[in-house]
Structures are given as C-alpha cells and as structure tokens.
Amino acid sequence: MVVTGGAGFVGSHAVEFFADRGWNVVAIDNMSRGEMLGRSGTDTPKYNWNYLSGKNRITLLNASVTDAERMEKLVSNADAVIHTAGQVAVTTSLTDPRRDFETNMLGTFNVLEACRKSGRNPAVIFCSTNKVYGENVNRLPVRLNGDRYEYTDKAFEHGIPESFSVDGCEHTPYGASKLAADLYVQEYSHTYGLKAAVFRMSCIYGTRQFGNEDQGWVAHFILSALRNKKITIYGDGKQVRDVLFVSDLIAAYNAFLESPLKGGLFNMGGGSENTLSLLELVERIEKMTGRRPDISFDEWRNGDQKVYISDIRKAIKQLGWKPKVSVEEGLQRLENWAAGA
Ligand SMILES: NC(=O)c1ccc[n+]([C@@H]2O[C@H](COP(=O)([O-])OP(=O)(O)OC[C@H]3O[C@@H](n4cnc5c(N)ncnc54)[C@H](O)[C@@H]3O)[C@@H](O)[C@H]2O)c1
C-alpha cells in the first residue's frame, strides 16, 4: 500500500492503522505542510515522521506527488493507494493558487495515472472535502437555536447529501482544485475500472493534529488553550460543524477497501449526531482543562459556513460503518495527547 501525505495528520493515522493490520506500507510526503501554510508550529510532518519511524512494515520516503515519474515507480507494486497529500488551506489557495492547483489537481492526476499504468488495478481512496459544495451550502437558510445555527429546511435535517449541487457558485481555488481532483477520481473509476472512492470530508480531528487558524480548528483551539495562547473566533462562534474522530475516518477507508464496492462517493464526517459549535467547544475545553480559553472575536471570513453537517447515511448503508467515538471521548483523547505534545 502507498499512503501519500503519510506524514500528515490523516495520512499518518492511515499508515499506522494499515501497517498494524499487516499491510506493507510505503508512506510518502514532501514535508511541505509548514511551509505551505506559512506558519510555525504547524509542522505535523516532522512530528509524525518521528512517530512512525522504526515501526514494522512502514517505509518512509521523501517524495512529491507532483513528480509523475516517481509516482509511477512507487505505485507500480501497490495494491492500494490512500491519497491524502494536499495543499489543505483555503487561505493558502487564495494567495498561491498555482501551488494549490499543482499539489491538489496535478498531484491527484499523477496518482491516478500511476494507478492506471501499474496494471495491478490498485484500490484508491481520495481525501476530498465539503468545500466542493462551495457557496451553495451558504445559500441554505439557517436560524439561531440557542447558541448554535441550524438549517431551517427539514430536507437537510440529516445534513448535506452527496446529491447536493456543486455547480453555479464560487468555491475558492482550494474548493475548485479539490473538486476537479474529486471528479477525476470518479472518472478513473468509471472509465478505467479502478476501485476508487472519494470521501468528501468535513471536520476530522484527533491526536497528532497540529491545527491552526486555517485548518484543523478543534486541535487549534485545544492546543492554543493548553499553551495559553489567544484564540480568535471569526464570526459569532455559533457556527456548527459535524466532527469525526480520525480513527473512525480510517475505519471507513478500511470498510471501503474490504467491501465489494467498485467505487464510491461519500460525504464523511460525524453526521448530525456529532456536531459542535465553536462556543460549545470553548465550554468543553474549560470543563476538560479547568481553564477558560482566552478568546476574542473578529469579522466573519469570506466563505465561512454558518452550518455544515455531512449527511453520512450513504456511508452508513453502503460501508456498514458508523462513527464510534463520541465527541466527548474524542476531545478527551485529543486533549490527553495535546497536553504532552
Ligand atoms: N483534516 C480535515 O479536517 C480535512 C477535511 C477535509 C479534507 N481534508 C483533506 O484530507 C487530506 C489530509 O488532510 P490532513 O488534515 O491530514 O492535512 P495534513 O497537512 O496534516 O497532511 C497533508 C500532508 O500532505 C503533504 N504534502 C503536501 N504536498 C505534498 C506533495 N506535493 N507531495 C507529497 N506530500 C505532500 C504535507 O506535507 C502533509 O504532511 C488533505 O488532502 C485535505 O485536503 C482534510
């Protein structure tokens, strides 16, 4: 198995999980996260490389998915590819759209071509995002219910389904590069018969995640609180997300690999039963740590969603999977790790 972005948050959890299950895993990463985000303290790759190094059945390689030839060689012996490598922040995509495009679109295309040419028909898992639905999500009417926003339309009481329109709206360059890659993955499944799944992920959180203001807000809030750093909340803090603990995400990947499905498109998150508003997270952090995080408020950011909840019923039905880690337990696990990180 090849895991791209294997030193990243999601990638490193995939590497560890599948190596523990007996797969020989080649993890590749170009260690660019900190540089791409332009922030210190976000260097997930170095931390995770150290964490994974020396473990059985894991090979760590410094390589870029933008290098087509290298990808072909690396994938030539693989039975499965988990493609997590990416430019991950909307903010960076706005300031450096070329790098965003090359990493997310060209990188994914190289992975797919490597799979097509290998002749082994490897299974492919692609980390897409809810941002593919772009501004269409923000056109849904919402109302305040106490301290959180909710959709007013009953049709979305379970969240946003895969059939939701991706057309006719702004996406940000990140949303567009991910959507283009997402469509290519679906296309390679239809046209070339690759067993390929697209997971349109919302908010994934967990241990070994160095979140920051631009990406990974749950970890960002907890790390900042523990380090006595100020947290800026953009908007009123009542915005709501569904959150999924990383081990549950990897369990969904595994369920797809073990399933007879030939391909798939899944909205993936904690679903309507595992949601959190920003202010609710601040409350929970205070309960866990005994300290009130130092927060301040600023203007809403462009494209911020008031509510995003994944409708995960298709994944539940087709993958025989469901989230197991409650929000309470997941936050506690993240806090335990963050306290020692
Ligand atoms: N974490 C989330 O909540 C979330 C939500 C939606 C989608 N996603 C997607 O899931 C994937 C993984 O996210 P994450 O949270 O683990 O991010 P991450 O930044 O921790 O991991 C991404 C890894 O990819 C590596 N990388 C970047 N460019 C590369 C290249 N050209 N070649 C090889 N490696 C490269 C980075 O160094 C990093 O280690 C990303 O594609 C992201 O867009 C994540």
Is the pLDDT score of 40 beyond 60?
Answer: no
Burial of 195 (0-12, 13-18, 19+ CB in 10 A): buried
* Ligand 1 binding pocket mutation candidate from 70, 75, 127 (most atoms within 8 A of CB): 127
Q: Count the neighbouring beta carbons within 10 Å of the beta carbon of residue 341.
A: 16
Tell me the C-alpha distance between 182 and 178, whole Å.
6
Distance 249 CA to ligand 1 centre (A): 14
Spans of all domains in the chain: 2-336
The single residue listed with the structure tokens 């900042």 is 224
For residues 38 and 92, the answer to whether their CB atoms sit within 8 Å is yes
When comparing pLDDT for 305 and 132, which is higher? Answer: 132
- Does residue 302 register a pLDDT over 80? no
Is any ligand 1 atom within 6 A of the Cβ of residue 13? no
What are the backbone dihedrals phi and psi of residue 307, each rounded to the nearest 5 degrees, phi first? -140, 135
- The structure tokens 């960076």 sit at 92
**Of all protein residues, whose CA lies closest to atom 2 belonging to ligand 1?**
204
Residue 206 Cβ < 6 Å to ligand 1: no
Site to substitute for ligand 1 among 52, 88, 208, 210, most atoms within 8 A of C-beta: 88
Given a contact cutoff of 8 angstroms between Cβ atoms, the answer to whether 27 and 67 are in contact is: no
The answer, yes or no, to whether residue 155 has pLDDT greater than 70, is: yes
pLDDT digits (tens, 9 = 90+) for 198-247: 999 999 999 999 998 888 999 999 999 999 999 999 999 999 999 999 99
Would the CB of 47 count as within 6 Å of ligand 1?
Answer: no
Tell me the CA–centroid distance for residue 101 and ligand 1, in Å.
14
Report the 10 Å Cβ neighbour count for 48: 28
Of 158, 270, 151, residue with least CA distance to 218: 270
Does 85 sit in the ligand 1 pocket, CB within 6 Å?
Answer: yes
Identity of residue 97: P
Q: How confident is the model at residue 262 (pLDDT cuts 50, 70, 90)?
A: very high
Question: What CATH architecture is 2-336?
Answer: 3-Layer(aba) Sandwich (3.40)
Helix H or strand E segment including 106: none
Average the pLDDT over 158-162 and give the result: 98
134 lines ligand 1 (CB under 6 A): no
Tokens of 321: 């999977």
Whether 265 contacts 197, CB under 8 Å:
yes
Phi and psi torsions of 112, nearest 5°: -65, -45
222 lines ligand 1 (CB under 6 A): no
Which atom of ligand 1 is nearest to 65's Cα?
32
CA separation for the pair 195, 80 (Å, rounded)? 9
Question: Which active-site residues does the annotation give?
Answer: 174
Cβ contact 217:279 at 8 Å? no
- In 3D space, the residue among 224, 207, 218 whose CA is nearest the CA of residue 241 turns out to be 218
User: For residue 62, with 0-12 CB atoms within 10 Å meaning exposed, 13-18 middle and 19 or more buried, which class applies?
Assistant: exposed
156 is written with which tokens?
């979305």
